[in-house]
Amino acid sequence: MASNPPVAVYDACVLYPFHLRNVLIQCAFDGLVEARWTDDIHDEWIRNLDANTSALPIERLITTRDRMKAVLPDADVADYRPLVADLELPDPDDRHVLAAAIAGKASVIVTWNLKDFPARHLLPYGVTSQSPDDFLTDLHAAFPEALVSSVKRARHNLRKTTPSVEAFVDALQQGGLKTFSDVLRRNIAALK
């Protein structure tokens, strides 16, 4: 467990991709970050993944969500809805994410949709937004050995089809984690 880990809302778009979700959840489970999410965020990634991946039964996605909630019970933010109406963002449908950050006392929203969370709208609430690539790279800078160990555990979580270290890092890179993948490649021996 890290001392003074960041508190981060995981937006639906970072929970959607399998390998990224696996790494982010493992980092939170290992205490490198205090994750936050809401039922609305879960509903969004599940709905989108179900719509785009017909071979994946929705029951499996719901089971995944339930396991996430079970291993990180403090991640659930429940008292955010009253804040939504007073918030302003380019896409009003994203206000619930900022509301979750405020209610969950998060300092960062981890999202691929940075344009939807401009600094001028987040700053009054003490919140920033970061891509998962930058977020994980910064986590590595703060907790290098612990983060590499966490990523190693995330790979080993894939018991049915444990990919090689190289294939796992390649999958993360293909998922958009360009800088973080470079960091992992420099630590390849520690990931085995």
Residue 102 inside a domain? The answer is yes
Containing structural domain, residue 180: 144-191
Same domain, 119 and 162: no
Flag whether pLDDT at 49 surpasses 70: yes
Closest CA to 112 of 183, 2, 21, 35: 21
Residue where one domain finishes, among candidates 114, 136, 158:
136
Q: Provide mean pLDDT across the span 12-23.
A: 96
Residue 2 inside a domain? The answer is no
pLDDT of residue 55: 86
Flag whether pLDDT at 68 surpasses 80: yes
Flag whether pLDDT at 96 surpasses 80: yes
CA atoms of 152 and 28, how far apart (whole Å): 14
CATH number for position 128: 3.40.50
Same domain, 153 and 95: no
pLDDT of residue 181: 97
Same domain, 152 and 170: yes
Same domain, 15 and 96: yes
pLDDT of residue 2: 63
pLDDT of residue 42: 97
113: helix, strand or coil: coil
Same domain, 52 and 96: yes
Q: Provide mean pLDDT across the span 86-96.
A: 97
Same domain, 86 and 154: no
DSSP 8-state class, residue 5: P
Residue 1 inside a domain? The answer is no
Same domain, 67 and 155: no
Same domain, 30 and 81: yes
Same domain, 18 and 81: yes
Total domains present in the chain: 2
CA distances from 44 to 41, 89, 141 (A): 5, 18, 31
Give the number of other Cβ atoms within 10 Å of residue 136's Cβ.
Answer: 28
Same domain, 131 and 148: no
CA atoms of 72 and 56, how far apart (whole Å): 24
Residue 45 inside a domain? The answer is yes
| Phi and psi at residue 85, to the nearest 5° | -60, -30
Exposure string over 77-96, b if 16+ CB within 10 A, otherwise e: beebeebbeebebeeeebbb
pLDDT digits (tens, 9 = 90+) for 172-182: 999 999 999 99
Same domain, 47 and 124: yes
